[in-house]
Structure 1
Amino acid sequence: MTKSFVTPVGFADARQGLAHLFVRGLTVEAQIGVWAHEKGRRQIVRLDLDLAVDDPRSAGDDHAKVVCYEWASNEVRAVIASGHFNLVERLAEETAERLLRNPQIHAVRIRVEKPGAIRGAEAAGIEIVRLNTRTPEVLP
């Protein structure tokens, strides 16, 4: 069986009017986990966000005209505060869905990690890429 490889999404591309907004290592306490010992307690999750956003050059120096990384971080915190997640996969999907409600965001890459989830590993988790289907297509 032949497997196809995914072409990386270009998060910054001047020709398409895109910039790359990112947040690295956002650490939040979450109610997450499928195992009995994980229920009813909080665990640390670490997230990396990569957002393909409208090119900020037309915004000048106006904060209100750009996607703010603090706003994106607060959106993540709001998703996490919404309740218990069994799977990091679901947390990643709900985070992507929430961020993509903003029409200035054309694509997201979300990495969710649970530090110490696997003995001998720094972290385990998932990374997803999702496109905003409500905005004009600007990505390959």
Structure 2
Amino acid sequence: MELPLALATGLASRSRTRPVPKTYRIHIKDLMLMVRIGVYDYEKQAPQRVRVNVAMDVVQGVTPFDDNIDNVVSYDVIVDGIKALAARGHINLVETFADGIAELCLVDSRVRTVRLTVEKLDVFPETDGVGVEIERHQPDL
């Protein structure tokens, strides 16, 4: 199947004038933490199990990977940041924790979009977890 000439010409001229950015996705799956979280008095007595899942859409940038960790968004930095947020002290809402994680991920401007879930695992015995899922973007998108 051939493309109409106008469409083919437009695609060819666009590819010469504006390169398509290379992207990749980083994910952190089932990060399990003990977090002081919740609004009820019994939740303020002890930390509870929380599961965090994060997916970040990242633009590679002009520097090639070159097998060098300095040229990528490091999931080590993100995991350490999430642990640090959890260790700061009591958090009332899973929404607050999730928003803090999203902000942490978006500090690096190469991260264009972050999608994440935060779930408290021991709230109801009938479920595997309850929580929130959020999506945030760089402000210029």
TM-score, normalised on structure 2? Answer: 0.79
Instruction: Tell me the number of residue pairs that the alignment of Structure 1 and Structure 2 aligns.
Output: 121
Whether 1:54 aligns to 2:59 is yes
Matches of 1:84 and 1:50 in 2, distance apart?
25
Q: Is the 8 A contact 2:50 2:120 kept in 1?
A: yes
Q: Is the 8 A contact 2:53 2:118 kept in 1?
A: yes
Aligned to 2:17: none
Structure (1 or 2) with the greater helix fraction? 2
Give the alignment partner of residue 116 of structure 1, picking from 119, 122, 127: 122
SS in 2 for 1:59: coil
Q: After TM superposition, what 4+ stretches of structure 1 lie above 6 angstroms from structure 2?
A: none
Q: Is the 8 A contact 2:34 2:48 kept in 1?
A: yes
SS in 1 for 2:64: helix
Aligned to 1:11: none
Aligned to 2:48: 43
Structure index of larger Rg: 2
Whether 1:30 aligns to 2:35 is yes
Question: 1:69-128 CA distances to partner (integer Å, 9 max, x unpaired)?
Answer: 111111111111122111101100011112211112111011001112123011111000
Give the deviation of 1:55 after TM superposition. Answer: 2.8
TM-score, normalised on structure 1? Answer: 0.80
